[in-house]
Amino acid sequence: MVNQTSVTEFILLGFSDIQSLQTLHAVVFLALYLTTLMGNFLIIMAVIWVHHLHTPMYFFLAILSSIDACYISTTVPKSMIDSLINNNLISFSGCITQVFLVVTLASAELTLLTIMAYDRYVAICHPLQYMLIMNWTTCIQMATGLWVCSVINGMVHTVNTFSLHFCRSNIIEQYFCDIPQLLKLSCSDTEAIEMFVFVDVLCLGFFCFSLVLVSYGHIFSAVFKIQSVQGRYKAFSTCTPHLTVFSLFICTVMFSYMRPKALSSSTLDLVSAVLYTVLPPLMNPIIYSLRNKEIQVALWKMSMKRLEFHWVT
């Protein structure tokens, strides 16, 4: 048996070994990456610069955009560069870093979306006590807590994965270092770690899903009691983007990590990885921009100020 310390690098197979397809892959990923960064940075800038967005809801939205920008930057840039220079090698330490960041950021996003559901519950069901309950001290404590828990979760999964011995192959059938693919390369007994990954995803997903479900149960009950149609529409308009984003993320993660092995194949593994590492960061700012009028107004004001500045100069 070869000890894992003898492994100095892995080979990421990616999407294709045909040069023309590799170039196409790089171009598509570049377009998706730049669109994602632009969308998330616009939301962050809007929350920072527009004073009336200085509320807990948009504070958490800015954190979500920051997570999404980091999340997609963990995997996509290296994949693009690998396709362009036709070099699919990743160092052992680089693989460790990718695993840690992907797990940490995915955990942070799921936890944050759950906190945002609670924020909407307090805002709609207890509007008079909203700023008392969701004060800035509480918001900062929640943000700190989600990062601490997410980092610990990332460290546990990373240590578990790289405590294994790798002696079969160093070829990863994915475009980044993904835990399920790494477990396939190990010559150690991975049953306990596979079970731990499954239980962790199941428990975290079920816990977050249950809290979101309870929160929206109370929200919908309160909204339907509002007499004004305009009032109901306004309440729903602040909840619909979040509910859509949460559903998108948890469905893609569950599909990637909890589908039966019988449904696993190289192509499906690549597609599912794109679904949960690229699609949510790309779609989140689009969903919030399209469904949230306050974000639309803030972005319009920013554009007008920018245009006025250019006219003056």
Q: What is the pLDDT of residues 264-289, one digit of tens each?
A: 777 787 888 888 889 889 988 888 77
> Over 80: is that where the pLDDT of 19 sits?
no
Give the predicted TM-score (pTM) of the model: 0.88
What is the per-residue pLDDT across 110-140, written as a single tens digit (0 to 9) for each? 999 999 999 999 998 898 899 999 999 999 9
pLDDT digits (tens, 9 = 90+) for 189-219: 888 888 898 898 888 888 999 999 999 999 8
Residue 6 three-state SS: helix
Residue 306 has pLDDT above 70, yes or no: no
Tally of CA atoms within 13 A in the half-sphere of 20 that contains its CB: 0
Residue 5: burial class (beta carbons within 10 Å; 0-12, 13-18, 19+)? exposed
pLDDT digits (tens, 9 = 90+) for 63-95: 999 999 999 999 999 999 888 888 888 998 999
Please check the confidence at residue 1 and state whether its pLDDT lies above 50: no
pLDDT digit string, tens, across residues 31-52: 999 999 999 998 998 888 888 8
CATH of the domain at 165: 1.20.1070.10
How high is the pLDDT of residue 110? 93
Q: Give me the number of domains the chain comprises.
A: 1
For the chain, percent of residues with pLDDT exceeding 90: 36
Query: What percent of the chain stands above pLDDT 70?
Result: 93
Q: Residue 212: which domain range?
A: 4-312
| The pLDDT value given to residue 220 | 87
Kindly tell me the burial class for residue 171, based on how many C-beta atoms sit within 10 Å of its own C-beta (0-12, 13-18, 19 or more). Answer: middle
Alpha carbon distance 148, 67 (integer Å)? 14
- In eight-state DSSP terms, residue 8 is -
